[in-house]
Amino acid sequence: MDPQTCLIVDDSRIIRKVARRIVEGLGFEVDEAADGVEALTYCMGAMPHVVLLDWQMPVMDGLSFLRRLRDLPGGRAPKVLFCSVETRADRIAEALSAGADDYVMKPFDGEILHSKFAEVGAIQSPS
């Protein structure tokens, strides 16, 4: 079976690096994008299984990316996990109603990402 793929979309190289290490540890093949346009271009080539998505980014933000992704052919398939410093309840609700499968508040750690990946069914996990 082909390995599961995860696209990490964040304008911070450091966050991408930290998240990559954790997500690779969960058994995913990881690619990176620095903004919504790069991410959309990537998805039009091949849909990843999971997208870990920052909100505030230059060029195209996470919410605009998510709405466009869901309109693409096959764009409903990826599990999208928002991952943002935005922690207000109403903003989290907005992201979920725009089509995010779950939401990670920054800062996060490996245990939180592990639990969120299991929550959306991206990994089989006893925990």
Looking at 23, 108, 117, 122, which residue binds another protein (CB under 8 A)?
A: 108
Coil/strand/helix, residue 48: coil
Cβ distance to another protein smaller for residue 38 or 102: 102
Measured over the CA atoms of residue 69, residue 50, residue 20 and residue 119, the dihedral's sign is: positive
What span, in angstroms and rounded, lies between the C-alpha atoms of 61 and 75? 17
- For the chain, the distance separating the N- and C-terminal CA atoms, rounded to the nearest angstrom, is 24
| Type and span of the H or E element at 16 | helix 13-25
Looking at 92, 98, 99, 123, which residue binds another protein (CB under 8 A)?
A: 92
What span, in angstroms and rounded, lies between the C-alpha atoms of 8 and 32? 5
Cβ distance to another protein smaller for residue 73 or 126: 126
Cβ distance to another protein smaller for residue 31 or 101: 101
What x-and-dash track marks residues 49-88 binding another protein by CB under 8 A?
--------------------------------------xx
Q: State the nearest-atom distance from the C-beta of 48 to another protein, in Å.
A: 20
> Is residue 25 close enough to count as binding another protein by CB under 8 A?
no
Residue 11 — φ and ψ, nearest 5°? Answer: -80, -10
Task: Catalog residues that contact another protein under the rule CB under 8 A.
Answer: 87-89, 92-93, 96, 100, 102-105, 107-109, 111-112, 115-116, 118-120, 125-127
